[in-house]
Amino acid sequence: MIAVLWALLTARMCSVAAAEPAAAEPEPEGKGAPFSAWVLRQHADVHPEPQYHFAAEVFHAIADAAAARPGVIEAQRLGESLAHRPIWAFSVHDTAVPVQKRLLLIANIHAMEWIPTEDALAFVLDYAAKPEPGVEVVVVPILNPDGRARVEADLVAGRNLYRRGNEAQVDLNRDWSVNRESKAIWRHLIPGRYTTSPAPLSQPETRAIDQLLRNTSDVPFSGFVSLHSFGGFIYYPWAGLFERAPDWGRMQGIAETMQGGMGPHAYRPRQLSRWAFFFRGLGMEIDHVYGEFGIPAFLVETTRSGIEGLPDLHTYFRWYNPREPARHVKMGLGMLRAWVTAEPLIQAMTSQPLADLPGSTK
Ligand SMILES: [Zn+2]
């Protein structure tokens, strides 16, 4: 639903003022505080979305699972957000088998998209209980902790504000380095629809993921999923180019495997730029991960929205997050489980940087 929301919301997005600052609490243990110490200071009061986890509850659930299975879930601090909240990644793997394949799953890049975090949390807990031998999955359940903190504060205060960006109001999913310039003729007719952040990787949240991909050399990442909502699609690159990507057939195949794990009403695979004839997503995460690193990359628009009636049309949080997430989370889990085993353990990496291939821009 990327483009629909685009059209509906651009005016509102611009009018959302930076409400009260969402400063992170100071960290007595300093920046190096381990996850187990950090999480003890995280609290969530009773809140108006009991079917969803607030951030503190997400991390407590993971901490409990990590304590129950020592070594299976390992926390890694990737960096910190603009407002100095830690960005946590959790590596989940079978401790009895050496890692032969490594996958990266991120969620909640957009502030209001919470069901992706529910999917990511469910996956961490499920995968820790039954990991695929040799396959490590690194999960970042909340990539935009500052935006999310603002949404949490809105919900508690009963405010209905539209939020998408990070602390600096930057759309983190237009902040990557590949395909930032559109060649689409439509850009001349609707230029406001072809925007990016001021510079590639301008925000600490996007840089944290880029660095993780760049610094992981023993067993490099060979798969990437970014969970969004809503729309019911499994998108693959390119997002910013209409042309087919060199590996589009392979990515279509993986996406079909993911679709096959979902049961009825499964999400549908598609190249993102072909969502609509005028649509191009510039500087998006899947073009970066695929174009820079040669990793098959997927942006999943989970659910087909949470809108169940007219009143929901005026409640931004509901657009993205169905009242009863359980059924959707189950579908997401089936999809992610299928993704983990979609390709053989050893997968030859593309040797040439794809961003240098004809057609791609950087
Ligand atoms: Zn999104």
pLDDT > 90? residue 13: no
Q: Which pLDDT score is estimated for 311?
A: 87
Gap from CA of 272 to ligand 1 centroid (Å): 13
Gap from CA of 3 to ligand 1 centroid (Å): 11
* Highest mean pLDDT, choosing among 193-197, 346-350, 353-357: 193-197
The pLDDT tens digits of the residues spanning 222-277 come to 999 999 999 999 999 999 999 999 999 999 999 999 999 999 999 999 999 988 77
Determine the angle formed by the axes of helices 326-340 and 248-260, rounding to 10 degrees: 130
What is the helix (H) or strand (E) element at residue 258, kind and residue range?
A: helix 248-260
Gap from CA of 222 to ligand 1 centroid (Å): 22
Amino acid in the structure at residue 66:
A
Q: pTM of the prediction?
A: 0.89
Sorted by where each starts, the structural domains of the chain and their CATH numbers stand as 2-13+32-237+248-356 (3.40.630.10)
Given CA atoms 338, 100, 117, 268 in this order, what sign does their dihedral have? negative
What separation in angstroms does the CA of 85 have from each of 72, 77, 81, 169, 173? 24, 10, 5, 16, 19
Gap from CA of 228 to ligand 1 centroid (Å): 4
Q: Which pLDDT score is estimated for 188?
A: 60
Gap from CA of 226 to ligand 1 centroid (Å): 9
Gap from CA of 151 to ligand 1 centroid (Å): 14
Gap from CA of 306 to ligand 1 centroid (Å): 14
Residue 278 confidence class, pLDDT cut points 50, 70, 90 = confident
The pLDDT tens digits of the residues spanning 22-59 come to 567 655 555 557 999 999 999 988 999 999 999 999 99
The pLDDT tens digits of the residues spanning 83-133 come to 999 999 999 999 999 999 999 999 999 999 999 999 999 999 999 999 999
The pairs formed by 13-18 with CB atoms below 8 angstroms and a separation of 24 or more are 13/162, 13/164, 16/161, 16/162, 16/163, 16/169, 18/169
225 SS3 class: strand
Gap from CA of 293 to ligand 1 centroid (Å): 22
